[in-house]
Amino acid sequence: MPAIIDIAPAQVASATTTKLLTRAELDAYDPESESWQKQFQRRYTHHSELKGVLNQVEDVNETVYNKFAIAVTPYMAQLMDRDDPKCPIRLQYLPSFHEETKPGFATLLDELGEERDTIPGTSVVHRYPRRVLFLVSNTCATLCRFCTRKRMVSQPTGSVHKDEIERSIDYIAANKEIDDVLLSGGDPLTFADDRLDEILGAIRRRAPHVRFLRMGSRMVVQLPTRITPELCAVLEKHRVQMVNIHINHPKEITPLLRQRVKMIQKAGVMMGLQTVCLKGVNDDVQVMRELFMQSIEMGVRPYYVYSTDMVEGAHHFIVPHHRMLQLYEGLRGWISGPAVPTFIVDGLGGLGKLPIIPQYVKEELLPDGTGTTVKCRNYAGKTVEMPGLGLDFALPTQSN
Ligand SMILES: *Cc1c(COP(=O)(O)O)cnc(C)c1O
Ligand code: SF4
């Protein structure tokens, strides 16, 4: 690509908005007291700025910034533990020396092969039949250290290029088999409401064959005041059917988040949750159970848990495959079914999303070779054998 976008008003630096550099200022700050754009301008963009508000901030080498920028909203900083460097929110957003160590395997900037599947001249990734990923923005409110799209989200300038978005919409309009469009980025909500209104409106007007219009956004979680009645009116007007938010730890679920989630739901939007399985953050059965139960409590359906992608500087977050299977086993059967998401590995180089499921049911060959039997194991380890499931009944045709 790289993806080229219009600059939302939020991204235009303002000389008048000051950062909250002392603990007293951060403690006194009410995220609801000003616009989301104002708060966006107050983001911390260097680890030294966070030293005034948090203790034990790691003094990372400046070379970290060559690979991936730092951005933290004041609201997010308020949720961080002041003293504990292992706080699950700090781990997600503050850089560490681990990012510079060399892992024993290749890490890539486009590990998922998205550029290969991008339609030239557009920011549409067309990998699967009938549905496309439309990368409309190249920035987020707060930058996650494990981001799979590091190659695009931390570019210092969100360069204005309406053409790429136009050509993307042309592509969607011209390909009538596309019935599902997923807006992502970056974060589509970094756009101002009127620009989002234009883009969604153009898709609905020019591509009436699109049956399902959805969006992935972490801004709902990182800067909840981005959700306003005006934004919800835009979502409702263009019948956005689903918004997937991204939460990795129950600490990210606050009264303010719940309130704004409810606003989106009232606009008739179904909501889903995406989670990245991260070592030290949520690779724990109790943490996951709590996260997914809190999620269904607010009416947000856990959708996917992704393994950490093998992107540069994120290897220290990788949870081994066998551990992910154990985590799944700790959920299925133990908590409400709707609270159990699908666990996913995104195959290297663009193989796509692959479900990972422990084996509960397996078909085995009978010792005498005459057929098969099916051996079952439930969530609590009890077993039963169901030979009847191994049979392929040939139904007699009715004669009369
Ligand atoms: C994740 C993804 C989608 C959407 O996949 P679903 O399983 O339908 O949610 C579409 N395109 C690309 C390239 C993706 O990575
Ligand atoms: S919210 Fe998503 S796209 Fe944005 S920095 Fe985090 S992982 Fe990357």
Are 366 and 279 part of one and the same domain?
no
CA distances from 64 to 47, 60, 149, 224 (A): 10, 7, 16, 28
Are 150 and 256 part of one and the same domain?
yes
Are 253 and 323 part of one and the same domain?
yes
Closest ligand to C-alpha of residue 309 is 2
Using CA atoms, how far apart are residues 3 and 203, in angstroms rounded to an integer? 18
Q: What is the pLDDT of residue 141?
A: 93
Are 290 and 184 part of one and the same domain?
yes
Chain position carrying tokens 């700790």:
330
* Positions marked catalytic: 127-128, 131, 140, 144, 147, 149, 309, 346, 353
131 lines ligand 1 (CB under 6 A): yes
Amino acid, single-letter form, for residue 297: E
Q: What is the pLDDT of residue 15?
A: 54
Give me ligand 2 centre to Cα 217, in Å: 8
Residue 346 inside a domain? The answer is: yes
Are 320 and 365 part of one and the same domain?
no
353 lines ligand 1 (CB under 6 A): yes
Q: Which atom of ligand 2 is nearest to the CA of 218?
A: 1
Are 280 and 163 part of one and the same domain?
yes
Q: Around Cβ 157, how many Cβ atoms within 10 Å?
A: 11
Using CA atoms, how far apart are residues 89 and 16, in angstroms rounded to an integer? 29
Instruction: Write out the two tokens for 264.
Output: 């989106």
CA distances from 349 to 207, 317, 324 (A): 30, 19, 21
Q: What is the pLDDT of residue 2?
A: 35
Are 254 and 155 part of one and the same domain?
yes
Closest ligand to C-alpha of residue 151 is 2
Q: What percent of the chain has pLDDT over 90?
A: 79
Residue 201 inside a domain? The answer is: yes
Are 84 and 215 part of one and the same domain?
no
Are 278 and 137 part of one and the same domain?
yes
Give me ligand 1 centre to Cα 61, in Å: 35
Are 77 and 140 part of one and the same domain?
no
Number of domains in the chain: 3
Give me ligand 2 centre to Cα 184, in Å: 10
Using CA atoms, how far apart are residues 346 and 182, in angstroms rounded to an integer? 17
Closest ligand to C-alpha of residue 127 is 1
> What element of type H or E holds 257?
helix 255-266
- Mean pLDDT in order along the chain per 10 residues (400 residues): 40 68 98 97 97 97 92 98 98 95 74 88 95 93 93 62 92 98 94 96 98 98 98 98 98 98 98 98 98 98 96 93 98 98 93 96 91 95 93 79
Q: What is the pLDDT of residue 1?
A: 33
Whether 44 and 19 have beta carbons less than 8 Å apart is answered as yes
Q: 383 is in which domain, residue-wise?
A: 361-390
Amino acid, single-letter form, for residue 213: L
Residue 115 inside a domain? The answer is: no
Amino acid, single-letter form, for residue 346: D
Are 87 and 188 part of one and the same domain?
no
Instruction: Write out the two tokens for 378.
Output: 């439930």
List residues near ligand 2 (CB under 6 A).
140, 143-144, 147, 149, 153, 186-187, 218, 246
Q: What is the pLDDT of residue 108?
A: 72
Are 198 and 56 part of one and the same domain?
no
Residue 105 inside a domain? The answer is: no
